[in-house]
Amino acid sequence: MSAAVESLTGLPSVSEVARQDNDPFRVLVATMISLRTKDAVTSAASERLFSAAATPRALASLSEKKIETLIYPAGFYRTKARSLRKTAQALLSKHHGKVPRTMEELLALPGVGRKTANLVLNLGYGIPGICVDTHVHRISNRMGWVKTKDPAGTEKALMEVLPRRYWISINELLVRFGQTICAPVSPRCSICPNASWCPKVNVARSR
């Protein structure tokens, strides 16, 4: 699967940010911007924001309006600007300006859910965990690896069936795979390297 996906697309935007310097703060900010936003928009918005505020203290010093301007047209940019500023303030007041490295502490930050927290732990600190977004949830169920109703259930189920050494890489792999081949609507089954054992394809062929 990885070779086929590699030939069709680059890295997800947050992975690109992480590859630059593995800075947990940059990963946190880029992930918060990325929610419901296309990769190209996320990358450009993140770079504009980092050029103006590369640290929690610098970000906290910006007005919400300024942050809005810098990250626009990211989806829900006003809400994200407010969360980004509050998160930067929380990092300064509660964590000495450092991004925490536990799930519980990350989830206590404004605007941070399990997907964001897991990506920070994975890409910022190299701590194993399974980040489940819409692609991971959809594909792991479509492939028959798990049978779950929501991302939280998928995360738990995958942790039971997926070897720990793949926990960090599965998100990046399935995001790319979902963007290029296993799309939500009209998946490109004819070029899928997993078509021979995919339940969806086999059911279609049996009709």
Contact (Cβ atoms closer than 8 angstroms) between residue 45 and residue 84: no
Centre a 10 Å sphere on the Cβ of residue 98 and count the other Cβ atoms it contains: 12
HEC-encoded secondary structure of 8-51: CCCCCHHHHHHHHHCCHHHHHHHHHHHCCCCHHHHHHHHHHHHH
39, 66, 133, 200: which is the annotated catalytic residue? Answer: 133
Q: Which residues of 164-200 are buried (b: 16+ CB within 10 A; e: fewer)?
A: eeebbebbbbbbbbbbbbbeeeebeeeebebbeebeb
38, 98, 115, 156: which is the annotated catalytic residue? Answer: 115
115 catalytic? Reply is yes
CA distances to 140, 144, 205 from 199, in Å: 11, 7, 10
133 catalytic? Reply is yes
Contact (Cβ atoms closer than 8 angstroms) between residue 106 and residue 121: yes
User: What whole-number distance in Å separates Cα of residue 160 and Cα of residue 166?
Assistant: 12
For the annotated catalytic residues, the residue numbers are 115, 133
